[in-house]
Amino acid sequence: MRRFLLALAVVALTGCDLSTGVADAPTDPATETFAANLQVNIATMTKTAAGDYYRDLKLGDGPEVAGIPGVIISYQTFLKDGTLVASVSSATVLLGSLIPGLKDAMQGMRPGGERLIVVPSAMAYGNAATRTGIPPNSTLVFDLLFKAYPLQ
């Protein structure tokens, strides 16, 4: 009985892990805890078929991101513990150059829209470390502003 209670306590404590250490398996945002300042509430977010989550903070107007090769965006990228790992302002990017989860979660956005996006590690960098300090198997949180389409 004592071993059972000890095992149960260990399982309960590991479920609330905010650490960003190296994980040995892909992440599942539905089971993770996020820093309060990120304002991530998975239960109120839309889940895409690929497994990314998003919530519109501001709706834009104009043509949707769907089949359009390039966009001008600004964003901040965070780890689940709230650590800022990247900040980009008014960058022109090809959608094909983005991590799969970001490209997926941007579908349907319109210029002027802002979206909070949560990307599981399998749709981000997987088990690879990055030059920007993102540990392997990290869930990423993006606050993304879709500014415009580049001039044709």
Domains delineated in the chain: 2-148 (3.10.50.40)
**Secondary structure class of 89 (helix, strand, coil):** strand
Instruction: Count CA within 13 A, CB hemisphere, residue 102.
Output: 23
Ranges of the chain with pLDDT below 50: 1-22, 152
- The answer to whether the beta carbons of residues 106 and 95 sit under 8 Å apart is yes
Q: How much is the pLDDT for 92?
A: 93
Q: How much is the pLDDT for 4?
A: 34
Exposure string over 41-59, b if 16+ CB within 10 A, otherwise e: eeeebeebeebbbbbeeee
User: Structure pTM?
Assistant: 0.81
Q: How much is the pLDDT for 25?
A: 78
Q: How much is the pLDDT for 8?
A: 35
Q: How many CB atoms lie within 10 A of CB 85?
A: 17
Q: How much is the pLDDT for 20?
A: 45
